[in-house]
Structure 1
Amino acid sequence: MTNKIVKKEELVNFIGTKVEPTEWYEVTQERINEFAHCTGDNYFMHVDPEKAKKTDMGGTIAHGLLTLGLTPYIMDHFPVPEHMPHGFNYGYDKIRFLAPVHTGKRVRIHGEVKDAIWKDEHNCKFITALTVEIEGEEKPALYCEWILYYETQA
């Protein structure tokens, strides 16, 4: 899927629009180990399957920040203004880690356009609400609001 390019004046018309969820993504032990290596977060619940198996989790789980780090997978599902040479990650609000993602589980991301706030005629804060769903589980892994900064020309 690719972004829907819209006239910048029309971006506000998408407020309240839910976008198609991403494809399912499997959270593997290899991916968790790579994330642990990159961040230095080698807590046993993430990287030691044998030790983690003896806990109430029953095995390793993904880092919450790894789950949050998957959110850009949904980026190409959102509309973007035409003549936009740059889009930036502006930040996240209301991040809540609601349920652990066990190793081997698949997740996908649902999104909704919350707001499009134009600072001036070329700069917009584009606010989305994201939920990371865990396949086969009622409770989602994560909820957050992701703020993107759109810079346009012309």
Structure 2
Amino acid sequence: MIELDSTDHLILRELIEDATQSASKIGRKLNLSQPATWRRIKRLQETGVIKGQRLDLDREKLGFGVTVFLGIKLATKGRVSLDDFERAVAAIPEVQTVEHILGVYDYRLRVVARDISDFERVLRRRIMMMPGVGDVEANVLLSEERRPGPIG
């Protein structure tokens, strides 16, 4: 684990808010020079604290108005390779995330669809047809609030 000081935490908060900000803009906000800010950001990237930058798309504006979280319990553990299941489900374009979890279900999927009938099509024709799928629980996302995470 890398030691982060308060300045590193402030830089991370700025990048979480807007990852497109330049080092000079962040530096001005934090009373740091551009080179000092850039070196700190580079160190955070090189040590793996910053793993990358992601584009945050508005799914509704792209026509995907429904998000559903699926809990999936595999029916035949041992007969279906977890890697094979993960590869197969990740190949479904509507599946945004695949999380192997501990609990009642083996996997949690985040699935986007144009509407409920489109989700039903994906569920019936793609997900339920996969070998090894047993119990499935669906939870429709009503609203979402983004939180920055455990940055001290």
TM-score, normalised to structure 1's length?
0.21
Per chain length, whose mean CA-contact separation is higher, i.e. which structure has more relative contact order (CA < 8 Å, sep 6+)? 1
Question: Normalising by the residue count of structure 2, what TM-score does the alignment of the two structures yield?
Answer: 0.22
- In our comparison, the structure showing a higher alpha carbon Rg is 2
